[in-house]
Amino acid sequence: MQAAQLQRKFESIRANKIFETFVITVIIASALLVGAKTYDMPSGFASLTLILDWFISIFFLTEITIRFLGEPRKRDFFKSFWNWFDTLIVVVSLIPADSTDLAIVGRLVRVFRVLRMISIIPELRILLVSLVKALPQLGYVMLLMFIIFYIYAAIGSTLFEDINPTLWGDITISMLTLFRVMTFEDWTDVMYETMEVYSLSWFYYLTFIFFTAFAFLNMVIGIVVNVMERENAKVRAEEEKDSGEPTMQDVMNELSALKAVVNQQQNQKSNNS
């Protein structure tokens, strides 16, 4: 009986919004603490940051323990990727950051503790999952973009090498120059330099910018937005299923069943008459 009460207590703590907000606050404080350590600090303040760092590590360990104990079926805790993610970061962050050969690893992991915001906030999880799921489709877009880059770099290296070997000396340097053009980093200086020799070279730059900065960028945005819409729809369907409320599909199924019953009764009446 006491074990069941403790189980319910841990479940209520884990689902408590105040507890979740406090966890987010500690994560933000952890990120600020990592940033503060990059400055020169008095010895007293440095000792305080060390104490705060260990407090944050212990708090995260306690929070993970509460989430594990609050799981009705303990095996289900490890079925979630985000639980593995949080646990790994918390455990590795317990490595002493100042007195061992693994000090650098410990400091780096403390930097990555801010990534726990993704596992805590559902909206951030949807964004990350959507981006990962969009990668296969984005791969083809990136391949097509690379082909366009390669073609334009070969043309640029052939035509403009004598004008400025630093920017157009070979195809690799030309691709870097085109990346500068695509990101609009002083690209007009590059264009005006070649226009002094080839007056129509502006057409080369404008078509390249149209293909890369406009067309391909919109394709990438469209793919990511499409995947995000599917993920949001999936999350809403799971929430409706967990809430026990009837979904639109359930209503449609009920109407179809009712319509079938009415049609069957009408057929029976027609046969009897």
> Quick one: CA torsion of 263, 267, 270, 271, rounded to 10 degrees?
-170
| pLDDT score of 174 | 93
The DSSP-derived string for 51-120 is HHHHHHHHHHHHHHHHHHHT-SSHHHHTT-HHHHHHHHHHHHTTS-SSSSTTHHHHHHHHHHGGGHHHHH
Tally the residues of the chain.
Answer: 273
Q: Do domains 1-120 and 137-230 have the same CATH topology?
A: no
- pLDDT band per the 50, 70, 90 thresholds, residue 9: confident
More confident residue, 70 or 96: 70
Q: What is the pTM of this model?
A: 0.60
| Residue 186 DSSP code | S
Task: Provide the terminal-to-terminal Cα distance of the chain, rounded to the nearest Å.
Answer: 66
Most confident of 20-24, 77-81, 89-93: 20-24
Describe the chain by its helix, strand, coil percentages, rounded to 5: 85, 0, 15
Domain coordinates of the chain in residue numbers?
A: 1-120, 137-230
In this structure, which topology does domain 1-120 adopt according to CATH?
Answer: Four Helix Bundle (Hemerythrin (Met), subunit A) (1.20.120)
- pLDDT band per the 50, 70, 90 thresholds, residue 133: confident
| pLDDT score of 157 | 92
The answer to whether 116 touches 126, Cβ cutoff 8 Å, is no
137-230 under CATH 2.60.40.3880, yes or no: no
- pLDDT band per the 50, 70, 90 thresholds, residue 98: low
Per residue in 223-240, pLDDT (tens digit) is 888 888 887 777 777 766
Per residue in 102-119, pLDDT (tens digit) is 666 666 667 777 777 777
- pLDDT band per the 50, 70, 90 thresholds, residue 90: confident
